[in-house]
Amino acid sequence: MMTMTEIEAVKGFIRLCTDGYEMGWHERNGGNLTYRMKDTEVKECRPFFSQAPGDWTELGITASNLSKEYFIATGSGKFMRNVALNPEDSICICELNEKGDAYRIVWGLVNGGRPTSEFPSHLLNHSVKKAATDGAYRVIYHAHTPAVIALSFILPLDARTFSRVLWKSMTECPIIFPQGVGVVPWMVPGGPDIAKASSELMKTYDAIVWAHHGTFCAGPDFDTAFGLMHTVEKSADIYMRILSSGKEILQTITDDDLRKLAKDFHVTLNENFLD
Ligand code: 2HA
Ligand code: ZN
């Protein structure tokens, strides 16, 4: 019989945790990941579910279109670098109740614990993305990306400024995130307020910056969500290197160049962000 860690969805989840740690984005317990499971995956995992699931816990938010869905989630206070070594201790599968306002743990976190402290943000983001993509999006990923965090100290905290800087710091960025990126001002993490602010922006963007904190990315699968995180962070890093060089910027990608890219690669750029 298969084991839990041989199931593709679980394998992909664990791989992303390891990759993110190796990128330097997950100091200590920083960052978190959730995946909205397909019915076929729930079926595969069901033999491993505990006979006596945990109690229902209120979420503080309601995500009615996620009624009775199952999520793989990192655990609150757990370290990304430990996920691959001990998945049963570090991650869990949670089931949502009928109303979409409470969850219970059906597998994992064998030594106790709860899903990520950002579970409300993840679920509201899932809710928005599920509706906007007709169910295609399944991954929400939060990382403490150093260059994006650094940028949030020196750029005005608006989506237009961030999107233009990131689009222009590496040629393929506008193709990867043609909508640009959203920006949430500094807020206390972990609660329903930052969850609501984030999910409002997720209606428009696949990537949002949390000022002085990190980045949230959404995608249909692990590769795309991780790739988006990687691209946004790399572009921010390049911009920081340009500024750190202390040299004058002699040339950059122009708005006309952006339009040419959009045309040749058949993407529609967010017009609000073009001059
Ligand atoms: O510690 O990243 O935002 C987990 C987090 C909270
Ligand atoms: Zn965080």
Mean pLDDT of the chain: 97
| CB-based contact 142:32 (threshold 8 Å) | yes
If one counts every other C-beta atom within 10 angstroms of the C-beta of residue 215, the result is 25
Residue 28 alpha carbon, nearest atom of ligand 1:
1
If one counts every other C-beta atom within 10 angstroms of the C-beta of residue 251, the result is 5
Residue 213 alpha carbon, nearest atom of ligand 1:
3
Q: What would the pLDDT profile of 125-162 be if each residue is shown by its tens digit?
A: 999 999 999 999 999 999 999 999 999 999 999 999 99
If one counts every other C-beta atom within 10 angstroms of the C-beta of residue 50, the result is 13
Phi then psi for residue 241, to 5 deg, are -65, -40
pLDDT of residue 1 exceeding 80: no
For residue 82, give both structure tokens.
């430990």
Instruction: Give me the residue spans of the domains in the chain.
Output: 4-265
Known catalytic residues? Answer: 118
Ligand 1 atom 4 nearest Cα: 30
Instruction: Compute the distance between CA of residue 89 and CA of residue 105 in angstroms, rounded to an integer.
Output: 13
Give me the pLDDT at residue 116, please. 98
Ligand 1 atom 1 nearest Cα: 30
pLDDT of residue 88 exceeding 90: yes
Give me the pLDDT at residue 2, please. 80
* DSSP state, residue 208: E
Give me the pLDDT at residue 54, please. 82
In the chain, % of residues over pLDDT 70: 100
Up-side HSE of residue 19: CA atoms within 13 Å toward CB?
A: 15
Name the region of 190 (left: φ>0; alpha: ψ -120 to 50; beta: rest). Answer: left
CA angle 97/101/103 to nearest 5° reads 50
Instruction: Compute the distance between CA of residue 275 and CA of residue 269 in angstroms, rounded to an integer.
Output: 12
Whether this prediction's pTM lies above 0.85 is answered by yes
Ligand 1 centroid–CA 170 distance in Å is: 28
Q: What would the pLDDT profile of 40-82 be if each residue is shown by its tens digit?
A: 999 999 999 999 888 999 999 999 999 999 999 999 999 999 9
CATH architecture classification, 4-265: 3-Layer(aba) Sandwich (3.40)
Ligand nearest to the CA of 33: 1
Q: What would the pLDDT profile of 197-218 be if each residue is shown by its tens digit?
A: 999 999 999 999 999 999 999 9
| CB-based contact 27:49 (threshold 8 Å) | no
| Rounded average pLDDT over 163-184 | 98
| CB-based contact 207:143 (threshold 8 Å) | no
Ligand 2 centroid–CA 210 distance in Å is: 9
